[in-house]
């Protein structure tokens, strides 16, 4: 039987990691935003709602939390991950280390 697609929401911590839940598994970082996102994801799942940025906004998630959030739709549940540690980004056509980017990436 083929695996179904699945969406996951990730919060960005101050070190640039993206993670699910309240605490970053890489460094333990947590915030009001990560807690709000985790609660909203749980609420949407309990209601059987699709996990999207629009859905999170409709659920009342704050602007500050949405600014730290990415939602990724995976082609199958087996390829979904719990956290991501991006060390490089391409911004304005140039590869840059995460530590050299502005506050929008931290």
**Residue 37 included in any domain:** yes
| pLDDT (0 to 100) of residue 3 | 62
pLDDT-based confidence at residue 91 (cuts at 50, 70, 90)? confident
**Residue 26 included in any domain:** yes
pLDDT-based confidence at residue 1 (cuts at 50, 70, 90)? very low
| pLDDT (0 to 100) of residue 38 | 98
**Structural domains counted in the chain:** 1
pLDDT-based confidence at residue 2 (cuts at 50, 70, 90)? low
**Residue 76 included in any domain:** yes
**Residue 56 included in any domain:** yes
Find out whether 13 and 88 touch, Cβ atoms under 8 Å: no
- Based on the number of CB atoms within 10 Å of its own CB, is 12 exposed (0-12), middle (13-18) or buried (19 or more)? buried
pLDDT-based confidence at residue 102 (cuts at 50, 70, 90)? confident
Q: Which domain holds residue 81?
A: 6-105
Query: Is the pLDDT confidence value at 13 over 90?
Result: yes
3-state SS of 43-95? HHHHCCCCCCHHHHHHCCCCHHHHCCEEEEEECCHHHCCCEECCCEEEECCEE
pTM as predicted: 0.89
Q: What is the pLDDT of residues 29-88, one digit of tens each?
A: 999 999 999 999 999 999 999 999 999 999 999 999 999 999 999 999 999 999 999 988
**Residue 93 included in any domain:** yes
**Residue 1 included in any domain:** no
């Amino acid at each position: 039987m083929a695996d179904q697609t699945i969406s996951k929401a990730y919060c960005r911590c101050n070190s640039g990691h993206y993670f699910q839940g309240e605490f970053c598994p890489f460094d333990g970082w947590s915030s009001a935003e990560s807690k709000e996102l985790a609660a909203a994801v749980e609420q949407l799942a309990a209601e059987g709602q699709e996990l999207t940025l629009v859905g999170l906004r409709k659920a009342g998630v704050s602007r500050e939390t949405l600014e730290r959030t990415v939602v990724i739709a995976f082609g199958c549940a087996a390829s979904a991950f719990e956290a991501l540690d991006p060390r490089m980004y391409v911004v304005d056509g140039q590869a840059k280390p995460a530590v050299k980017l502005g506050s929008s990436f931290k």
